[in-house]
Amino acid sequence: MPADDQAPSPEPGARPPLSGRARGTHLSAPHLRWGLLAVAGGAVVAALVTLFVTGFKNDKGLEVHNPAAPGSTVLDRQFGTADRGDCLTWSKPERTDLTKVACTGRHLFEVAADIDMSRYPGVEFGPGSRWPDSLRLTELKEEHCMPAVQQYLGGRYDPRGRYTVGLMYPSPEGWKHGDRTLRCGLQLRGAGDAARPSTGSALDPDQSRVYDKGTCLGINQNLPTDPVDCAQAHAVEIAATVDLSKRFQGSPPSKDEQDKYVGEECAKAANDYLGAPDVIRNKTLTLFFDFVDARSWLAGNRKLDCMIGKGADREGFAPITGSARGDIQINGQAPVPPPNNGRSTPTPLPGAAPLPPQPQPR
């Protein structure tokens, strides 16, 4: 994510005073955004084209079988008739129970387009051609699926939003029997490689990557991952979601305008969520929130989460166990409320926590 310098004092338009921890280094909104895109193992997502393209019988990826392949009747009957706008789901690691479902229900993949590569000239996809390796499949997804998804969404795909571009492709056995169909689609973005269940169509106007109130995001290498039970170690807890469309219309509001509005809304929402205005301070926590950049705004995204967490001593977030509405431990220890010396609590810095690693472009 883009890097910001550390800041010893609040930026213009900083958040109103909160009864939370006031000091820490500046975690810019772009850093927070990319921090939330961190993958398990500590690496930061650097290229969308590398997601969800894996090999045969790999439970972290997506695959299909050719009708000529033995034992694939259920899978191929459903997948072979899947069309643009259809939603697919499965429960078995081998995906032999793959089926079409209504997009309003729980699903794992929404089809944006199917592409018959046998229609392309040349020998690469002709009879007897070699099954493409993972690198070539990644290139095919970039070449065909990214444009297909943009067309499916009317040009509103937001690579920073809740969805990532996915690819379903023939297995080596299916390829051997002549299957050259690629199906491009959308999956709910996760921190790891496994598909996450979604409800609702990606065609809905807002693709904001937000979570339900009370959700805790797990932690790996000091960075947030996918939702977990709040009793497990986590990086942040969602206190509320703010809808910018209630204040701003038309062109994208500036970061300072967003900071002021979202800061005020998150402060009120966090106090309501926690039950008292001094909980954040007494538990040595900090209120975090992101901002919507111009690209996401133009894609139609208007929502941001108010997140409660604790900055780590060096970088990222400290692990918390327990909901902030009850007893918690930070780094395995119960928080010690700071002394009340009668002085006012300074305004927290925007996203007061050390900087997570910056993603490197590929």
Reported confidence tier of residue 219, pLDDT bands at 50, 70, 90? very high
Q: Which amino acid is at 158?
A: D
Indicate whether 235 pLDDT > 80: yes
Cα(first)–Cα(last) distance of the chain, in Å? 13
Output the six-digit token pair for 46: 């650097």
Provide the pLDDT for residue 263: 95
Return the domain boundaries, the chain. 29-36+209-330, 48-188
- What CA–CA distance (Å, rounded) separates 163 from 126? 33
Q: Which amino acid is at 24?
A: G
For 245-267, what is the mean pLDDT?
A: 95
* Residues 169 and 216: beta-carbon distance below 8 Å: no
Q: Which amino acid is at 290?
A: D
Most confident of 56-65, 186-195, 313-322: 313-322
Interior/surface letters 141-174, b for 16+ CB within 10 angstroms, e for the rest: bbebbbebbeebbeebbbbbbbbbbbbbbbbebb
Q: List phi, psi (to 5°) of 307.
A: -120, 140
Indicate whether 285 pLDDT > 70: yes
Structure confidence by residue, pLDDT tens digits, 76-107 = 555 667 789 999 988 877 777 788 899 999 99
Provide the pLDDT for residue 159: 87
How high is the mean pLDDT of the chain? 76
Ranking 8-12, 113-117, 222-226, 235-239 by mean pLDDT, the lowest is 8-12
- What CA–CA distance (Å, rounded) separates 34 from 359? 8
Which among 112, 215, 97 has a CA at the least distance from the CA of 163? 112
More confident residue, 98 or 16: 98
Compute CA distances 88 → 83, 246, 295, whole Å: 10, 34, 29
Provide the pLDDT for residue 77: 56
- What CA–CA distance (Å, rounded) separates 233 from 229? 8
Place of tokens 């007893």: 327
Helix intervals (H) in the chain: 29-35, 73-80, 134-140, 146-152, 172-176, 255-274, 279-282, 294-298
Indicate whether 277 pLDDT > 50: yes
- What CA–CA distance (Å, rounded) separates 345 from 362? 43
More confident residue, 76 or 291: 291
Indicate whether 5 pLDDT > 80: no
Q: What is the reported pTM? A: 0.70
Provide the pLDDT for residue 174: 80
Indicate whether 268 pLDDT > 80: yes
Indicate whether 360 pLDDT > 70: no
CA 320, 324, 327, 333: dihedral to nearest 10 degrees?
30
* Residues 228 and 196: beta-carbon distance below 8 Å: no
- What CA–CA distance (Å, rounded) separates 224 from 362? 22
Q: CB under 8 Å to 143, separation ≥6 — which residues?
A: none
Provide the pLDDT for residue 292: 95
Which among 350, 311, 266, 287 has a CA at the least distance from the CA of 10? 350
Helix (H, G, I), strand (E, B) or coil at 32: helix
